[in-house]
Amino acid sequence: EEVARHYAACMDSVNLITAGQPEGMADDEWEATVARNKEHLEIMVAKDFWTEEYDLTPFKKAIKQGQ
C-alpha cells in the first residue's frame, strides 16, 4: 500500500513534467518546478522497494524530458 502511494506520487510528478509549462507561469518558476519534480523522480527511481509490477519507464522518460 505504501509503495502504491509512492508510485502515485511519482506519477503526479511525471504528469506535471510531461504536461509542460502552464500558461501564465513564469519561466523561472517553471524551471524550479521541473527541477524539484525531476529530483523527486531520481530519488524514487533509486529506491529498492520497486517490484516488477511497477513500470518505472514513465519516471525515467520524465527525468530525461526535464533535463
Cβ–Cβ < 8 Å for 8, 58: no
Tell me the per-residue pLDDT of 25-57, one tens digit each, with 9 for 90 and over. Answer: 999 999 999 999 999 999 999 999 999 999 999
Predicted confidence band of residue 66 (pLDDT cuts 50, 70, 90): confident
DSSP H helical segments within the chain, as ranges?
2-19, 27-45, 57-65
3-class state of residue 52 by DSSP? coil
In Å, what is the CA distance from 20 to each residue of 13, 62, 66?
11, 11, 10
DSSP assignment letter at 53: T
Percent of the chain with pLDDT over 90: 96
pTM of the predicted model as reported, rounded to 2 decimal places: 0.90
What per-residue confidence (pLDDT) applies to 67? 79
